[in-house]
Structure 1
Amino acid sequence: NIYFVYISTDFVFGENGPHDEATTPDPLNFYGESKLQAEHLVQLSGLPFAIVRPVFIYGQLFLGMKPTFIHWVQQNLQNGKPIKVVNDQQRTPTFVTDICDGISAIINQKVQGIFHLAGKDIISPYAMALTVARVLGLDSSLIEPVTSETFFEPVKRAKLSVLKIDKAREKLGYNPVSFEEGVKLSFSV
Structure 2
Amino acid sequence: YVETSTPNPLSVYGASKYAGEKRVGTDGMIVRISYPYRSVFEPKKDIFRTLKSQLEVGKSLSMVEDSLMVPTFIDDIAQGLGYVMDNFSNELFHLVGKDAMSPFDFATTIAKVFNLDKSLIEKTTYETYFANKAKGPRYGDIRSEKNTFYPMHSFEEGLRIIKNQLNII
Task: Tell me if both proteins adopt one fold, taking TM over 0.5 as the criterion.
Answer: yes
Q: In the alignment, which residue of structure 2 is the partner of 1:12?
A: none
1:58 correspondence with 2:34: no
Output aligned runs, 1:1-189, within 5 Å: 19-43=1-25, 47=27, 49-62=28-41, 64-152=42-130, 154-169=133-148, 173-187=149-163, 188=165, 189=168
How far residue 179 of structure 1 moved from its aligned partner, in angstroms, is 0.3
In structure 2, stretches of 5+ residues that fail to align are none
Q: Deviations over 1:133-172 (max 9, x none)?
A: 1111111011101112233464332211111212122xxx
Is the CA contact 2:3–2:145 (under 8 Å) kept in the aligned structure 1? no
Aligned residues with identical type, % of pairs: 35
Q: Which runs of 5+ in 1 are unaligned?
A: 1-18
AA in 2 matched with 1:146: T
Partners in 2 of 1:121 and 1:55 — Cα distance? 11
Determine helix, strand or coil for the equivalent of 1:52: strand
Contact persistence 1:57–1:93 (CA under 8 A): yes
CA distance in 1, matches of 2:133, 2:151: 34
1:125 and 1:119 map into 2 onto residues whose CA distance is: 14
Q: Is the 8 A contact 2:31 2:92 kept in 1?
A: yes
Distance, in Å, in 2 between the alignment partners of 1:116 and 1:60 is 22
CA deviations on 1:14-35 (whole Å, 9 max, x unpaired) are: xxxxx11111111001111111
Query: In the aligned structure 1, how far is the partner of 2:142 from the partner of 2:85?
Result: 21
C-alpha distance in 2, partners of 1:81/1:74?
A: 10
* Residue 87 of structure 1, CA deviation: 0.9
Structure 2 distance, partners of 1:168, 1:82, is 37
Note the C-alpha offset of 1:61.
2.1
- TM-score scaled by length of structure 2: 0.89
Whether the 8 Å CA contact 1:59–1:185 is kept in 2: the answer is no
TM-score, scaled relative to structure 1: 0.80
Q: Is the 8 A contact 1:84 1:145 kept in 2?
A: yes
Q: In structure 1, the residue corresponding to 2:92 is in which secondary structure?
A: strand
Check whether the contact 1:50–1:106 (CA below 8 A) recurs between aligned residues.
no
Structure showing the higher strand proportion among its residues: 1
2:97 aligned counterpart, secondary structure: coil
